Structure 1
Amino acid sequence: MIMGLFFNRKRSIDLFAPVAGVLEPIEKVSDEVFASKAMGDGFAIKPKSGEIYSPIDGTVTSVFPTKHAIGLKTKGNLEILVHLGIDTVELNGKGFEVFVKEGDVVSSKTKLVDVDLNFLASEKKPNDIMVIFTNLDKHALTYEAGNVNQGDKVGTVE
Protein backbone atom coordinates (compact mmCIF):
# COMPACT_ATOMS: atom_id res chain seq x y z
CA MET A 1 0.00 0.00 0.00
CA ILE A 2 2.75 2.47 0.86
CA MET A 3 4.36 2.01 -2.55
CA GLY A 4 1.32 3.62 -4.18
CA LEU A 5 2.22 6.90 -2.52
CA PHE A 6 5.44 7.06 -4.50
CA PHE A 7 3.75 6.41 -7.83
CA ASN A 8 1.11 9.09 -7.31
CA ARG A 9 3.54 11.87 -6.39
CA LYS A 10 3.70 14.71 -8.87
CA ARG A 11 7.12 15.40 -10.25
CA SER A 12 8.04 19.02 -10.66
CA ILE A 13 10.60 20.11 -13.23
CA ASP A 14 13.02 22.85 -12.27
CA LEU A 15 13.60 25.61 -14.81
CA PHE A 16 16.89 27.48 -15.04
CA ALA A 17 17.85 30.76 -16.71
CA PRO A 18 19.61 29.85 -19.96
CA VAL A 19 21.37 33.23 -19.99
CA ALA A 20 21.91 36.25 -17.73
CA GLY A 21 19.50 39.10 -18.39
CA VAL A 22 15.96 40.25 -17.72
CA LEU A 23 13.32 37.51 -17.65
CA GLU A 24 9.83 38.52 -18.76
CA PRO A 25 6.57 36.85 -19.78
CA ILE A 26 6.43 35.54 -23.35
CA GLU A 27 3.54 37.97 -24.00
CA LYS A 28 6.06 40.85 -23.94
CA VAL A 29 8.11 39.77 -26.99
CA SER A 30 7.64 41.73 -30.21
CA ASP A 31 6.68 38.70 -32.33
CA GLU A 32 2.92 38.06 -32.25
CA VAL A 33 3.26 34.30 -32.86
CA PHE A 34 5.28 33.91 -29.66
CA ALA A 35 3.48 36.64 -27.68
CA SER A 36 0.07 35.05 -28.40
CA LYS A 37 1.38 31.67 -27.14
CA ALA A 38 0.55 30.06 -30.49
CA MET A 39 3.73 27.98 -30.11
CA GLY A 40 3.14 27.39 -26.39
CA ASP A 41 3.52 29.13 -23.05
CA GLY A 42 6.88 30.21 -21.73
CA PHE A 43 9.14 33.14 -20.99
CA ALA A 44 11.77 35.28 -22.67
CA ILE A 45 15.06 36.76 -21.51
CA LYS A 46 16.64 39.96 -22.81
CA PRO A 47 20.21 38.62 -22.74
CA LYS A 48 23.31 40.30 -21.31
CA SER A 49 25.58 37.78 -23.06
CA GLY A 50 25.41 35.40 -25.98
CA GLU A 51 26.24 32.23 -24.05
CA ILE A 52 23.04 30.16 -23.98
CA TYR A 53 22.71 27.14 -21.69
CA SER A 54 20.01 24.53 -21.26
CA PRO A 55 17.00 25.67 -19.18
CA ILE A 56 16.25 22.08 -18.09
CA ASP A 57 17.77 18.68 -17.42
CA GLY A 58 16.91 16.58 -20.44
CA THR A 59 17.83 15.51 -23.95
CA VAL A 60 18.36 17.44 -27.18
CA THR A 61 15.64 16.36 -29.62
CA SER A 62 16.53 18.70 -32.49
CA VAL A 63 18.97 21.35 -33.61
CA PHE A 64 17.42 23.40 -36.39
CA PRO A 65 19.60 23.52 -39.55
CA THR A 66 19.51 27.32 -39.30
CA LYS A 67 20.87 27.04 -35.71
CA HIS A 68 18.29 29.57 -34.41
CA ALA A 69 16.37 27.05 -32.27
CA ILE A 70 16.97 23.90 -30.26
CA GLY A 71 14.39 21.34 -29.16
CA LEU A 72 14.71 19.68 -25.74
CA LYS A 73 12.73 17.05 -23.83
CA THR A 74 12.62 16.18 -20.13
CA LYS A 75 12.46 12.63 -18.75
CA GLY A 76 8.74 13.29 -18.23
CA ASN A 77 8.36 14.06 -21.98
CA LEU A 78 7.85 17.80 -21.54
CA GLU A 79 8.96 19.44 -24.81
CA ILE A 80 10.83 22.74 -24.78
CA LEU A 81 11.84 24.97 -27.66
CA VAL A 82 14.75 27.33 -27.02
CA HIS A 83 14.34 30.00 -29.70
CA LEU A 84 17.25 32.38 -30.22
CA GLY A 85 16.09 35.83 -31.29
CA ILE A 86 13.20 36.87 -33.49
CA ASP A 87 13.16 36.34 -37.27
CA THR A 88 16.63 34.82 -36.92
CA VAL A 89 15.71 31.89 -39.17
CA GLU A 90 16.41 34.39 -41.99
CA LEU A 91 20.10 34.47 -40.99
CA ASN A 92 20.62 30.86 -42.17
CA GLY A 93 22.88 30.00 -39.24
CA LYS A 94 25.06 33.11 -39.34
CA GLY A 95 25.75 34.45 -35.85
CA PHE A 96 25.24 31.09 -34.10
CA GLU A 97 27.75 28.48 -32.93
CA VAL A 98 26.05 25.30 -31.69
CA PHE A 99 27.74 22.99 -29.16
CA VAL A 100 25.17 20.16 -28.93
CA LYS A 101 23.62 17.61 -31.26
CA GLU A 102 20.47 15.54 -31.30
CA GLY A 103 20.53 12.90 -28.55
CA ASP A 104 22.90 14.76 -26.22
CA VAL A 105 21.96 14.72 -22.53
CA VAL A 106 21.99 18.27 -21.12
CA SER A 107 21.68 20.13 -17.82
CA SER A 108 21.70 23.77 -16.77
CA LYS A 109 25.51 23.56 -16.94
CA THR A 110 25.47 22.55 -20.64
CA LYS A 111 26.20 25.33 -23.12
CA LEU A 112 23.90 24.95 -26.11
CA VAL A 113 24.86 27.87 -28.34
CA ASP A 114 26.93 31.03 -28.59
CA VAL A 115 24.89 33.83 -30.14
CA ASP A 116 26.70 36.83 -31.64
CA LEU A 117 24.51 39.56 -30.16
CA ASN A 118 26.39 42.28 -32.08
CA PHE A 119 25.66 40.49 -35.36
CA LEU A 120 21.96 40.20 -34.47
CA ALA A 121 21.92 43.94 -33.73
CA SER A 122 23.64 44.72 -37.04
CA GLU A 123 20.95 42.67 -38.81
CA LYS A 124 18.21 44.47 -36.79
CA LYS A 125 17.00 41.21 -35.22
CA PRO A 126 15.59 41.33 -31.66
CA ASN A 127 17.76 39.12 -29.45
CA ASP A 128 15.10 37.75 -27.07
CA ILE A 129 15.98 34.24 -25.91
CA MET A 130 12.67 32.40 -25.62
CA VAL A 131 11.95 29.24 -23.65
CA ILE A 132 8.68 27.81 -24.93
CA PHE A 133 6.85 24.74 -23.59
CA THR A 134 5.10 23.20 -26.58
CA ASN A 135 3.13 20.49 -24.74
CA LEU A 136 2.27 21.83 -21.28
CA ASP A 137 -1.25 20.35 -21.43
CA LYS A 138 -2.32 19.90 -17.80
CA HIS A 139 0.99 21.09 -16.35
CA ALA A 140 1.29 24.44 -14.56
CA LEU A 141 4.18 26.75 -15.44
CA THR A 142 5.39 29.19 -12.77
CA TYR A 143 8.37 31.52 -13.00
CA GLU A 144 9.69 34.73 -11.50
CA ALA A 145 10.22 37.73 -13.81
CA GLY A 146 13.13 40.14 -13.28
CA ASN A 147 16.91 40.13 -13.39
CA VAL A 148 18.46 36.67 -13.57
CA ASN A 149 21.91 35.14 -13.80
CA GLN A 150 22.61 32.17 -16.03
CA GLY A 151 21.87 28.99 -14.10
CA ASP A 152 19.53 30.60 -11.56
CA LYS A 153 16.45 28.52 -10.78
CA VAL A 154 13.69 30.73 -12.22
CA GLY A 155 10.63 28.51 -11.98
CA THR A 156 9.00 25.10 -12.17
CA VAL A 157 6.56 23.07 -14.18
CA GLU A 158 4.20 21.01 -12.01
Structure 2
Amino acid sequence: MFKKLFGQKSTSDKVVSPMSGQVVGLEEVPDPTFSEKMMGDGVAIKPDSGEVVSPVDGEILQLFPTKHAIGIQSVSGIEYLIHIGLETVALEGEGFEAHVKQGDKVSAGDLLITVDLDIVAQKANSTITPIVITNEVSSLDKKLGQTASKGETEIMYVEK
Protein backbone atom coordinates (compact mmCIF):
# COMPACT_ATOMS: atom_id res chain seq x y z
CA MET A 1 0.00 0.00 0.00
CA PHE A 2 2.80 2.47 0.83
CA LYS A 3 4.39 1.81 -2.57
CA LYS A 4 1.15 2.80 -4.30
CA LEU A 5 0.77 5.90 -2.12
CA PHE A 6 4.24 7.14 -2.95
CA GLY A 7 4.15 6.19 -6.64
CA GLN A 8 6.74 3.42 -6.44
CA LYS A 9 6.52 0.65 -8.99
CA SER A 10 5.27 -2.75 -7.83
CA THR A 11 7.80 -5.58 -7.83
CA SER A 12 5.32 -8.44 -7.77
CA ASP A 13 2.42 -9.85 -9.77
CA LYS A 14 -0.71 -11.71 -8.83
CA VAL A 15 -1.12 -13.73 -12.04
CA VAL A 16 -4.65 -14.76 -12.99
CA SER A 17 -5.40 -17.62 -15.33
CA PRO A 18 -5.40 -16.64 -19.00
CA MET A 19 -7.75 -19.56 -19.79
CA SER A 20 -10.38 -21.56 -17.98
CA GLY A 21 -9.31 -25.09 -17.16
CA GLN A 22 -7.10 -27.26 -14.95
CA VAL A 23 -3.85 -25.74 -13.60
CA VAL A 24 -0.90 -28.15 -13.76
CA GLY A 25 2.86 -28.00 -13.38
CA LEU A 26 5.09 -27.51 -16.41
CA GLU A 27 6.42 -31.01 -15.75
CA GLU A 28 3.11 -32.32 -17.16
CA VAL A 29 3.62 -30.58 -20.53
CA PRO A 30 4.56 -33.25 -23.11
CA ASP A 31 7.31 -31.10 -24.65
CA PRO A 32 10.80 -30.88 -23.12
CA THR A 33 11.15 -27.19 -24.03
CA PHE A 34 8.49 -26.49 -21.41
CA SER A 35 8.67 -29.51 -19.07
CA GLU A 36 12.43 -29.04 -18.58
CA LYS A 37 11.88 -25.28 -18.14
CA MET A 38 14.27 -24.33 -20.95
CA MET A 39 12.32 -21.11 -21.55
CA GLY A 40 11.59 -20.43 -17.89
CA ASP A 41 9.40 -21.54 -15.01
CA GLY A 42 5.64 -21.24 -14.69
CA VAL A 43 2.48 -23.33 -14.94
CA ALA A 44 0.26 -24.77 -17.67
CA ILE A 45 -3.47 -24.84 -18.26
CA LYS A 46 -5.40 -27.78 -19.69
CA PRO A 47 -8.04 -25.51 -21.23
CA ASP A 48 -11.75 -26.16 -21.49
CA SER A 49 -12.56 -23.01 -23.50
CA GLY A 50 -10.84 -21.08 -26.26
CA GLU A 51 -10.71 -17.56 -24.89
CA VAL A 52 -7.27 -16.34 -23.84
CA VAL A 53 -7.19 -13.27 -21.58
CA SER A 54 -4.36 -11.25 -20.11
CA PRO A 55 -3.04 -12.74 -16.86
CA VAL A 56 -1.65 -9.36 -15.70
CA ASP A 57 -1.83 -5.62 -16.29
CA GLY A 58 0.86 -4.73 -18.80
CA GLU A 59 1.90 -4.36 -22.42
CA ILE A 60 1.94 -6.78 -25.35
CA LEU A 61 5.63 -7.32 -26.14
CA GLN A 62 5.13 -9.75 -28.98
CA LEU A 63 2.28 -11.40 -30.85
CA PHE A 64 3.58 -14.21 -33.02
CA PRO A 65 2.38 -13.97 -36.66
CA THR A 66 0.68 -17.37 -36.27
CA LYS A 67 -1.14 -16.05 -33.17
CA HIS A 68 -0.29 -19.24 -31.24
CA ALA A 69 1.84 -17.39 -28.68
CA ILE A 70 1.94 -13.98 -27.06
CA GLY A 71 4.45 -12.20 -24.85
CA ILE A 72 3.36 -9.74 -22.15
CA GLN A 73 5.39 -7.55 -19.82
CA SER A 74 3.57 -6.70 -16.61
CA VAL A 75 3.70 -3.23 -15.07
CA SER A 76 6.20 -4.66 -12.56
CA GLY A 77 8.54 -5.63 -15.43
CA ILE A 78 7.99 -9.39 -15.26
CA GLU A 79 7.69 -11.01 -18.70
CA TYR A 80 5.27 -13.82 -19.51
CA LEU A 81 4.87 -16.05 -22.55
CA ILE A 82 1.52 -17.73 -23.19
CA HIS A 83 2.02 -20.57 -25.68
CA ILE A 84 -1.38 -21.90 -26.79
CA GLY A 85 -1.13 -25.64 -27.41
CA LEU A 86 1.90 -27.60 -28.57
CA GLU A 87 3.26 -27.60 -32.13
CA THR A 88 0.59 -25.04 -32.96
CA VAL A 89 3.00 -22.91 -34.99
CA ALA A 90 2.46 -25.50 -37.76
CA LEU A 91 -1.22 -24.45 -37.96
CA GLU A 92 -0.01 -21.13 -39.43
CA GLY A 93 -2.75 -19.22 -37.63
CA GLU A 94 -5.63 -21.56 -38.48
CA GLY A 95 -8.15 -21.47 -35.66
CA PHE A 96 -6.59 -18.41 -33.96
CA GLU A 97 -7.90 -14.84 -33.88
CA ALA A 98 -5.95 -12.03 -32.19
CA HIS A 99 -7.78 -9.18 -30.46
CA VAL A 100 -4.63 -7.18 -29.59
CA LYS A 101 -1.38 -6.17 -31.28
CA GLN A 102 2.18 -5.54 -30.19
CA GLY A 103 2.43 -2.41 -28.05
CA ASP A 104 -1.15 -2.54 -26.77
CA LYS A 105 -1.69 -1.87 -23.06
CA VAL A 106 -3.86 -4.50 -21.40
CA SER A 107 -5.47 -5.14 -18.05
CA ALA A 108 -5.80 -8.53 -16.40
CA GLY A 109 -8.86 -10.22 -17.91
CA ASP A 110 -8.75 -8.38 -21.27
CA LEU A 111 -9.37 -10.67 -24.25
CA LEU A 112 -6.14 -11.34 -26.17
CA ILE A 113 -6.81 -14.28 -28.49
CA THR A 114 -9.63 -16.66 -29.30
CA VAL A 115 -8.72 -20.16 -30.40
CA ASP A 116 -10.77 -23.03 -31.77
CA LEU A 117 -9.68 -25.80 -29.41
CA ASP A 118 -11.27 -28.44 -31.65
CA ILE A 119 -8.93 -27.48 -34.51
CA VAL A 120 -5.93 -27.49 -32.16
CA ALA A 121 -6.94 -30.88 -30.71
CA GLN A 122 -7.27 -32.37 -34.22
CA LYS A 123 -4.25 -30.82 -35.92
CA ALA A 124 -1.66 -30.13 -33.20
CA ASN A 125 0.03 -32.23 -30.50
CA SER A 126 -1.97 -30.89 -27.54
CA THR A 127 -4.18 -28.04 -26.33
CA ILE A 128 -2.18 -27.69 -23.09
CA THR A 129 -1.09 -24.07 -22.70
CA PRO A 130 2.11 -23.17 -20.83
CA ILE A 131 2.40 -19.78 -19.12
CA VAL A 132 6.13 -19.19 -18.67
CA ILE A 133 8.07 -16.41 -16.93
CA THR A 134 10.83 -15.50 -19.38
CA ASN A 135 12.97 -13.22 -17.22
CA GLU A 136 14.60 -13.76 -13.84
CA VAL A 137 12.46 -13.56 -10.72
CA SER A 138 13.26 -14.00 -7.05
CA SER A 139 10.15 -15.86 -5.95
CA LEU A 140 7.40 -17.91 -7.58
CA ASP A 141 4.39 -19.39 -5.80
CA LYS A 142 2.38 -21.71 -8.07
CA LYS A 143 -1.27 -22.54 -7.38
CA LEU A 144 -1.44 -26.02 -8.95
CA GLY A 145 -4.23 -28.60 -9.03
CA GLN A 146 -7.16 -26.22 -9.18
CA THR A 147 -9.79 -25.58 -11.80
CA ALA A 148 -9.31 -21.98 -12.88
CA SER A 149 -11.69 -19.42 -14.36
CA LYS A 150 -10.07 -17.15 -16.96
CA GLY A 151 -9.30 -13.68 -15.69
CA GLU A 152 -10.34 -14.53 -12.13
CA THR A 153 -8.43 -17.40 -10.50
CA GLU A 154 -4.92 -16.67 -9.22
CA ILE A 155 -2.51 -19.25 -10.66
CA MET A 156 0.84 -17.74 -9.61
CA TYR A 157 2.27 -15.09 -7.36
CA VAL A 158 5.57 -13.79 -8.71
CA GLU A 159 8.13 -11.45 -7.16
CA LYS A 160 10.83 -9.76 -9.20
Residue 61 of structure 1: aligned partner? 61
Matched, 1:141 2:144: no
Give the Cα–Cα distance (whole angstroms) in 1 for the partners of residues 62 and 11 of structure 2: 24
- 4+ residue runs over 6 A deviation: 6-10
Report the residue type matching 1:43 in the other structure: V
Whichever of the two has the greater Rg, that structure is: 1
Counterpart Cα distance in 2 of 1:87 and 1:147: 24
Cα offsets for 1:102-152 (capped at 9, x unmatched): 1111122211111100101221430011110010x2421112112111121
Cα deviation per residue 1:40-91 (whole Å; 9 max; x = unaligned)?
0011000010001011111001100111100100122211111010000111
Give, in whole Å, the separation in 1 of the partners of 2:139 and 2:8: 17
Cα distance, 1:62–1:119 mapped onto 2, change above 3 Å: same
* Cα pair distance change 1:140/1:126, threshold 3 Å: same
* Map of 2:115 onto structure 1: 115
Separation in 1 of the partners of 2:128 and 2:158? 21
Counterpart Cα distance in 2 of 1:70 and 1:60: 7
Scaled by the length of structure 2, the TM-score of the pair is 0.89
After superposition, residues 1-158 of structure 1 pair within 5 angstroms as 11-135=11-135, 137-145=136-144, 146-151=146-151, 152-158=153-159
Deviations 1:10-47 (A, max 9, x none): 73211001111000111110011110000100110000
Contiguous gaps of at least 5 residues in structure 2: none
Aligned length: 154
TM-score by length of 1: 0.90
C-alpha RMSD of the superposition: 2.1
- Mark the CA change 1:10 to 1:63 in structure 2 (over 3 Å): closer, same or farther: closer
